[in-house]
Structure 1
Amino acid sequence: MSESVSFVPMANVSELLGAITSEEDRKISDVIKGFTTFQDRDVLVAKITPCFENGKIAHARIGRRLGFGSTEFHVVRPKASRLNDRYLYHFLRQPVVREDGERRMTGSAGQKRVPKAFLEALEIPLPPLAEQRRIAAILDKADALRAKRREAITKLDQLLQSVFLEMFGDPETNPKRWPIGVIGDLLESVKYGSSEKAALEGDVPILRMNNLTYAGEIDLTHLKYISEEKAEEKHQVRSGDILFNRTNSKELVGKTAVYAGPTPMAYAGYLVRGRTRRGQSPEYISGFLNSSYGKTTLQGMCKSIVGMANINAREFAAIAIPLPPSDLQKTFQSQVSCIRSRRDMLKRQSDLFGHLFASLQHRAFAGTL
């Protein structure tokens, strides 16, 4: 029981790359109970919402004989004599498969999961292995082009973090000796979102927890809607509002982003809306919570309830935060705006690549590639 194995938390699986970003060395005796086991070249499918909808499906390449990870993974292992692992990986990553899986989820809101039976019942085209490898190689090359665009976006996200640290210093050590307050000092209101049931069609788009990214952005893909009469003003966001994900898995709880508008939208009950006082910058609060120190703070304070972690609105408002001058916060907000403009352009290009890739996937598994 002293064998070293690879350990992969949910946060170490990238929905963008479709891969494990890093693995930890653990003793098998420490993880043999309470975790999911897998092997090199298995495909990991996150089963819980919103990870599944966000595309946390990865081809596992690990350096140890065995891997262990979250119990929220389904492990799909192909029969090597009939099914190529990369071919299987690309098949499961198709938008149509993920959309069908979302419709088949079971469980209560916030804890819905894709059942094992859904994956077992999927029908997959099975051309000869040589043809599977050819298709997988074409999709791999096309996906690599998409990855370059995503890498450029990631570098801009890193630039945002660097600008924050340069202007305000590391919040953990507060080298610029700003006075310390709490987030509530910078806000005029903190409100929970709507508990109305959302649908694929409706009048008003509603932002849910999967529309907030771990990097601190608003992702408007996979929107759902509610009727106009149920979209009360108190449950709407406007440009400059902060959205805080109060309930999620432990790795993802506390995701924070600033809504840039311009269209008013509703926001769901697993989110908290923070509206800043005049002269205070929402981007500064978001930058703080998305810093390494901010994320560590959130991880340390969340409470686990039946597999989900929670930080309520009162606790959110009570988080200690340095209080730099308003003019410096506004300078930071201006720089964020410039970086985001460049990021949005790259994101549009990336979305176009994504649509082209989805078309290529469809042709590949329809037998016309």
Structure 2
Amino acid sequence: MLESKYLYYFCLNYDFNRHNKAVTIPSLTKVDLLKIEMLLPPKSTQLAIVAELDKLNEMIRLKKQQLEDYDQLAQSIFYEMFGDPVENEKGWEVKKLGEICTIFAGGDKPNDIKQILDKDYKYPVIANGDGSKGVLGYTKNCKVKEDAVTIGARGASIGNCRIVKNGFTPAVRLLTLIPGVFLNCSYLFYIVKGLDYKQNGAGQAQLTVPNIKIETLPLPPLPLQQQFAARIEAIEQQKQQVKDTIKDLENLLASRMQYWFD
């Protein structure tokens, strides 16, 4: 007897592409599907395998939930210290981003670029895209040496923000904001990620430098911004530990899937 969850895990692990004969759109025929062979252990063994893999998946889910909880904590700290930046109930001076940041868009991808990070080619070239998907490669030199905030300006990543440290080169119209002397990078990040990009250009083909320069923000005292940044840094360190644990769990899950089904 075949347990449905056992079949589910088998399918997750199985490489169906080996049956693809199409040149353009991948496809799988019923005939090919019926030819697939799988080991069918006793029901008790199937259930034990499912229980093991379910437990690993649940541990991964809980760790990912922990990351979301840390993000919510960081957001609550922001509002605790600064209030709603739209309402500006604390009455701080309001500035346009273009007045207190250096803002520009990335250009063409550099010619001197490698796909593999090494000791010489250590600076990422970053374009529009989430996480590692936005990294086009690595160069010896970087255009931006300061800590900066980037904003996705095109496609599905429009409005996506991140802090980039230790040098990088923006490309393909990626918007880059380098904070001035009265602005902390962490505070800037939480301001720009809360902007309504649908109202300010996200319905168009792309965001532009003029779009961003006219956005306004309250400017709290720099020491208060720095206190906020220190609290966020502590949270980020905790998040990194959780991310490392997730990676280890995912590797273990993949290894156990391979053990049981390959």
Output the amino acid matched with 1:345: Q
Distance 1:155 1:246, change over 3 A: same
Q: Quote the Cα distance in structure 2 between the aligned partners of 1:299 and 1:147.
A: 31
SS of 1:209's equivalent? coil
Q: Quote the Cα distance in structure 2 between the aligned partners of 1:339 and 1:279.
A: 23
Paired residue for 2:92? Answer: 178
Note the C-alpha offset of 1:191.
3.6
Which of residues 197, 209, 215 in structure 2 aligns to 1:298?
A: 197
Output the amino acid matched with 1:284: Y
Q: TM-score, normalization: structure 2?
A: 0.74
Q: Contact conserved, 2:146 with 2:178, CA < 8 A, in 1?
A: no
Distance 1:330 1:169, change over 3 A: same
Output the amino acid matched with 1:259: V
Q: Contact conserved, 2:147 with 2:178, CA < 8 A, in 1?
A: yes
Q: Contact conserved, 1:207 with 1:223, CA < 8 A, in 2?
A: yes
Paired residue for 1:206? Answer: 125
SS of 1:157's equivalent? helix
Output the amino acid matched with 2:192: L
Output the amino acid matched with 1:151: Q
Q: Quote the Cα distance in structure 1 between the aligned partners of 2:127 and 2:234.
A: 26
Note the C-alpha offset of 1:160.
0.7
RMSD: 3.8
Note the C-alpha offset of 1:176.
1.5
State how 1:331-350 maps to structure 2 within 5 Å: 331-350=227-246
Note the C-alpha offset of 1:270.
4.5
Q: Quote the Cα distance in structure 2 between the aligned partners of 1:274 and 1:141.
A: 43
Output the amino acid matched with 1:343: K
Which of residues 204, 209, 222 in structure 2 aligns to 1:326?
A: 222
Q: Quote the Cα distance in structure 2 between the aligned partners of 1:362 and 1:244.
A: 39
Distance 1:138 1:310, change over 3 A: farther
Note the C-alpha offset of 1:116.
8.3
Paired residue for 2:176? Answer: 273
Q: Contact conserved, 1:190 with 1:274, CA < 8 A, in 2?
A: yes
Note the C-alpha offset of 1:208.
3.9
Q: Does 1:246 align with 2:149?
A: no
Note the C-alpha offset of 1:196.
4.5
Note the C-alpha offset of 1:154.
1.5
Q: Quote the Cα distance in structure 2 between the aligned partners of 1:154 and 1:364.
A: 32
Is there any run of 5+ residues in structure 2 with no aligned partner, and where? 18-22
Structure with the greater relative contact order (CA < 8 A, sep ≥ 6): 1 or 2? 2
Q: Contact conserved, 1:190 with 1:313, CA < 8 A, in 2?
A: yes
Paired residue for 2:58? Answer: 144
Q: Which whole-Å deviations, capped at 9, do the CAs of 1:305-354 have from their partners, x for residues lacking one?
A: 6xxx5211221222222222222222211211121122222222222222
Q: Quote the Cα distance in structure 2 between the aligned partners of 1:172 and 1:243.
A: 21
Count of aligned pairs: 244
Q: Quote the Cα distance in structure 2 between the aligned partners of 1:311 and 1:222.
A: 16
Q: Contact conserved, 1:245 with 1:256, CA < 8 A, in 2?
A: yes
Note the C-alpha offset of 1:281.
0.8
Q: Contact conserved, 1:191 with 1:274, CA < 8 A, in 2?
A: no
Output the amino acid matched with 1:282: C
Q: Does 1:90 align with 2:4?
A: no
Higher Cα radius of gyration: 2
Distance 1:318 1:349, change over 3 A: same
Note the C-alpha offset of 1:304.
4.0
Q: Does 1:287 align with 2:195?
A: no
Q: More helix per residue: 1 or 2?
A: 2
Which of residues 146, 160, 176 in structure 1 aligns to 2:74?
A: 160
Q: Quote the Cα distance in structure 2 between the aligned partners of 1:201 and 1:290.
A: 30
Q: TM-score, normalization: structure 1?
A: 0.55
Distance 1:344 1:120, change over 3 A: same
Q: Quote the Cα distance in structure 1 between the aligned partners of 2:24 and 2:47.
A: 26
Identity %: 19
Paired residue for 1:111? Answer: none
Q: Which whole-Å deviations, capped at 9, do the CAs of 1:15-69 have from their partners, x for residues lacking one?
A: xxxxxxxxxxxxxxxxxxxxxxxxxxxxxxxxxxxxxxxxxxxxxxxxxxxxxxx
Q: Quote the Cα distance in structure 2 between the aligned partners of 1:206 and 1:89.
A: 36
SS of 1:170's equivalent? coil
State how 1:189-204 maps to structure 2 within 5 Å: 189-196=103-110, 200-201=115-116, 203-204=121-122
Distance 1:179 1:89, change over 3 A: farther
Note the C-alpha offset of 1:83.
9.9
Paired residue for 2:247? Answer: 351
Paired residue for 2:212? Answer: 316
